[in-house]
Amino acid sequence: MKNKKTKLVVASGKGGVGKSMLTSALAMLFGRSQKIVAVDCDADAPNLGIWLGGIRKWDKTIPVVASARPEINYQKCDGCGLCAKKCNFSAIKMVKGKPKVNPFLCEGCGACEAICPKKAIKLKPVQNGEIKIKNTKYSFPLVSGQLYPGETGSGKVVDEIKVEAEKFDYNLMLVDSAPGTGCPVTAALRGANFVVLVTEPTPSGFSDLKRVLEVVNYFKIPWGAVINKWDINSKLSKKIENFTKTKFLGKISYDKNIFKAISNLTPILETNLKAKKEIKKIYGQTIKATKNYF
């Protein structure tokens, strides 16, 4: 693993299954022996910093300008309506014979600018988020980011977060992905050497695991699976374990005390909860599973 830049992504499909908790713990464990950089690629709802004890003051904030919005020159516009017709995101509507842009639906793609016969539309760059960097007390950097509410381009903010993280001298990049399978997730997964998929033994957890696997397999990324809260349904947990076969990395018990610990901003590895031991075991299994890929 030495002298190589490898990327491990934690993803899940379903939200709230424990991605950030696991990423934070893995970062602290890997960070003891390697040069790591922890990256929060859930720019919609970034929580990795909280699981690392909470960040009061970031060292550095960098604006992200990765979106654009059309500006219409109504003096030039003759109200032909072509822009509204060609917008594939239903973001332009004709109001009283003039185009009106709904900024919340606009993707900033520039199709309207391209189609306008009167050259009345110009795309203007928009700051849609920011990147935040902190050298944590665990002696590794955390690169996080935030998509501004109401802006588009979640995936593009994630791309920028990764560009910034890449600037650090590291052996292992640990990436916490957003839930789902859309643009922020594919942006997090791009270039990954290994993915740890977190799930829970519920019909939703299992179904979403299969959904995100479709994307992971499409990118041909090797993966391993972790079942969180396994004991809320041990039968289904066993079924998921069997489904993941040799890719199974381990499981974590459900514990209401995790709620209490994180409410006091105590990272899971600094507690005496059962989950701590279980995660350490998962860490060991992850090292074994990634040996061939890293």
Partner 1 sequence: MGNDQLKKNAITGGKGGTGKSTVAILFANQLVKERKKVFLVDCDVECPNDYLLLGQKIKKPTERIYAQFPKLIKKKCKKCGLCAKTCRSNAIFQAPGKYPVFIKDLCSACGACWIVCPYGAIKPKKEETGKIFVNKIKNNFWLVTGLTKAGLEETGPVVTKVKEFALDFAKKNKADYILFDTAPGIHCPVVSALIDCDTAFCVTEPTPMGAADLNLILDLCRKLKVPAKVILNQADLGDKRKIFPIIKKYKTKIEKEIPYSRKLVEAYSEGKLLDFNL
154 near partner 1, judged by CB under 8 A: yes
Classify the phi-psi angles of 144: left when phi > 0, otherwise alpha if psi is within -120 to 50, otherwise beta.
beta
99 near partner 1, judged by CB under 8 A: no
* Residues that contact partner 1, how many (by CB under 8 A): 65
In whole angstroms, give the CA distance from residue 294 to residue 289.
10
Compute the least distance from the CB of residue 160 to partner 1, in Å: 12
Write out the two tokens for 71. Answer: 């500006």
CB atoms within 10 A of CB 122: 16
117 near partner 1, judged by CB under 8 A: no
Q: How many residues does the chain have?
A: 294
Using the structure block, give the residue that is written with the tokens 């992504």.
Answer: 9
Compute the least distance from the CB of residue 215 to partner 1, in Å: 5
Binding residue for partner 1 (CB under 8 A) from 127, 182, 238, 239?
Answer: 182
Residues 6+ apart with CB under 8 A from 178: 41, 42, 43, 44, 45, 154, 158, 184, 185, 188
Does an H or E element contain 288, and which? Answer: helix 274-290
Choice between 177 and 286, CB closer to partner 1: 177
Binding residue for partner 1 (CB under 8 A) from 5, 6, 35, 50?
Answer: 50
In whole angstroms, give the CA distance from residue 11 to residue 178.
7
Choice between 29 and 261, CB closer to partner 1: 261
27 near partner 1, judged by CB under 8 A: no
Taking contact as CB under 8 A, which single stretch among the options 26-34, 132-140, 167-175, 212-220 is the one that binds partner 1? 212-220
Choice between 44 and 278, CB closer to partner 1: 44
Write out the two tokens for 160. Answer: 């920028």
> Do β-strands 98-101 and 60-64 pair in parallel, antiparallel, or remain unpaired?
unpaired
> Do β-strands 248-252 and 121-126 pair in parallel, antiparallel, or remain unpaired?
unpaired
Binding residue for partner 1 (CB under 8 A) from 8, 9, 11, 17?
Answer: 17
- Report the amino acid identity of residue 149: P
Instruction: For residue 68, list its beta bridge partners.
Output: 125
Write out the two tokens for 243. Answer: 């489904």
256 near partner 1, judged by CB under 8 A: yes
Compute the least distance from the CB of residue 1 to partner 1, in Å: 28
* Interaction site with partner 1 (CB under 8 A): 13-17, 20, 42, 44-47, 50, 54, 68, 86, 88-90, 102, 104-105, 107-111, 113-115, 147, 149-150, 152, 154-155, 178-186, 201-204, 207-208, 211-212, 214-215, 218, 232-233, 236, 256, 259-260, 262-265
